[in-house]
Structure 1
Amino acid sequence: MGALPGAGSDIAAWISYAIARRGSRVGRRDDEQGSVERIMSASAANNASLGGAYIPATVFGIPGDAITAIVISVMFIKGLNPGPTLFLNNPETIYTIFAIFFIANLLLVPLGILCIRGFGLILRLPSSYVSPVILVFCILGAFSVENTLFAVGLVAAFGLLGYLMEANDIPLAPAILGLILGPMIEQTFMTTMLKSQGSLAIFFERPIGAAIGVVTILTWLTAIGVKVFSRGAEEGRARKDVQPT
Structure 2
Amino acid sequence: MSRKVCATAADAVGAITSGSTLAVGGFGLCGVPDALIEALCERGVDRLEVFSNNCGVDDYGLGLLLQDRRIVRVTASYVGENKEFARQYLAGELEVELVPQGTLAERLRAGGAGIPAFFTPAGVGTLVAEGGMPWRYRPDGEIDVASPVKETRVFDDREYVMERGITADFALVHARLGDTEGNLVFDKTAQNFNPLAAMAGRITIAQVEELVEPGVIDPADVHIPGVFVQHIVESGPQNKRIEKLTVATEGAA
TM-score over 0.5 for the alignment?
Answer: no
Coarse TM-score class (shorter-chain normalised): under 0.3
TM-score normalised over the length of structure 2? 0.24
TM-score normalised over the length of structure 1? 0.25
Bigger share in strand: 2
